[in-house]
């Protein structure tokens, strides 16, 4: 509960400085529990309301497991906007589209890291960068099917990756890369545009069942490994925060909250 309150207070302070939205993450330990994710999302929104923040300014951030996507589908049906994170491939993106989520965050850099290690490659040219190519594939799929879900490229390792996705709906870029971009003198060339896609888009996509989703995810070693390791990483970070908070309050770290 303390972590939830702290998280929301950070969100409140950010919203004092910006006109847009802030993402607030559901405990990653709930990533495979649809009902618990829905309940936690509503708890977080209720906390925001105590600070006078309306839910339109909040994106509930949920890991893109099948259970998480179904939770997002239920929340979106109630007008609660969701950001599906730890997204590494088209099956996850397709399920998110069918669920009608507001925004997805495909991870560019983590995909690159995985392929560099798996294929023992030190460098990929940007036109062959697996993370950039993954986001481009999702972008084209969404635009060609008139999907309104926003795509926010995330987890960048270089400004070349950022520039390689110029034109994407949204990008979340670390301060050090923003500083590099500010100093870069190259002309920014649009890499993604929905003008042509929207003019030729289809208005229906095939439904993706849980069995299809699971099978496709399991057959993509990169996506399945990164999804689980990402969830594990978020859980570990939350546990570390819990320990720090208990120490700051002078509590025994062994006592369960």
Full set of structural domains in the chain with CATH: 2-239 (3.20.20.70)
Predicted confidence band of residue 200 (pLDDT cuts 50, 70, 90): low
Predicted confidence band of residue 207 (pLDDT cuts 50, 70, 90): confident
pLDDT of residue 60: 98
Q: Mean pLDDT score of the chain, rounded to an integer?
A: 94
Q: Is 128 a catalytic residue?
A: no
Phi, psi angles (nearest 5°) of residue 37: -65, -45
Q: Is the pLDDT of residue 141 over 50?
A: yes
> Which pTM was predicted?
0.91
pLDDT of residue 254: 52
Name which of 21-25, 122-126, 193-197 the model is least confident about.
193-197
The average pLDDT across 115-122 equals: 96
Task: Evaluate whether 117 touches 225 at the Cβ level (below 8 Å).
Answer: no
Q: Is the pLDDT of residue 247 over 50?
A: yes
Q: Which of 40, 61, 73, 136 is catalytic?
A: 61
The average pLDDT across 135-144 equals: 95
Task: Write the CB contacts of 42 (distance below 8 Å, at least 6 apart in sequence).
Answer: 80
Written as six digits, the tokens of 140 are 């084209």
Task: Evaluate whether 25 touches 59 at the Cβ level (below 8 Å).
Answer: no
Q: Is the pLDDT of residue 94 over 60?
A: yes
| CB neighbourhood size of 245 (10 A) | 15
pLDDT tens digits along 11-23: 999 999 999 999 9
Q: Is the pLDDT of residue 204 over 70?
A: no
Q: Is the pLDDT of residue 174 over 80?
A: yes
pLDDT tens digits along 22-57: 999 999 999 999 999 999 999 999 999 999 999 999
pLDDT of residue 253: 47
Listing from the earlier edge strand, what are the strands of the sheet with 103-106? 22-25, 58-63, 82-87, 103-106, 150-153, 170-171
Predicted confidence band of residue 166 (pLDDT cuts 50, 70, 90): very high
Round to whole Å and give the CA distance between 113 and 245. 32
Task: Evaluate whether 47 touches 5 at the Cβ level (below 8 Å).
Answer: yes
Q: What is the DSSP letter of 22?
A: E
The average pLDDT across 191-218 equals: 80
pLDDT tens digits along 52-90: 999 999 999 999 999 999 999 999 999 999 999 999 999
For 138, how many CA atoms within 13 A lie in the half-sphere containing its CB? 31
Nearest CA among 12, 84, 1 for reference residue 43: 1
The greatest distance separating any two alpha carbons of the chain, rounded to the nearest whole angstrom, comes to 62
């Amino acid at each position: 509960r303390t972590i939830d309150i702290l998280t929301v207070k950070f969100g409140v302070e950010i919203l004092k400085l910006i006109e847009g939205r802030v993402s607030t993450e559901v405990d990653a330990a709930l990533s495979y529990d649809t009902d618990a994710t829905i309940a936690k999302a509503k708890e977080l929104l209720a906390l925001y309301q105590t600070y006078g923040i309306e839910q339109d300014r909040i994106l509930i951030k949920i890991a893109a497991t099948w259970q998480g996507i179904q939770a997002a589908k239920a929340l979106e049906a109630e007008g609660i906007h969701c950001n599906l994170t730890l997204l590494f491939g088209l099956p996850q993106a397709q399920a998110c589209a069918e669920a009608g989520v507001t925004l997805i965050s495909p991870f560019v850099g983590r995909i690159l890291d995985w392929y560099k290690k798996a294929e023992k490659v030190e460098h990929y040219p940007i036109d062959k960068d697996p993370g950039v190519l993954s986001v481009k594939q999702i972008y084209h799929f969404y635009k060609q099917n008139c999907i309104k879900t926003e795509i926010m490229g995330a987890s960048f390792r270089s400004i070349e990756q950022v520039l390689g996705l110029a034109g994407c709906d949204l990008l979340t870029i670390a301060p050090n890369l923003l500083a590099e971009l500010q100093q870069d003198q190259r002309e920014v060339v649009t890499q993604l545009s929905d003008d042509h896609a929207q003019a030729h888009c289809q208005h229906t996509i095939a439904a993706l069942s849980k069995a299809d989703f699971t099978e496709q995810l399991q057959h993509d070693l990169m996506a399945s490994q990164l999804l689980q390791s990402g969830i594990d990483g978020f859980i570990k970070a939350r546990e570390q925060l819990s320990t720090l908070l208990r120490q700051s309050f002078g509590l025994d770290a062994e006592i369960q909250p």
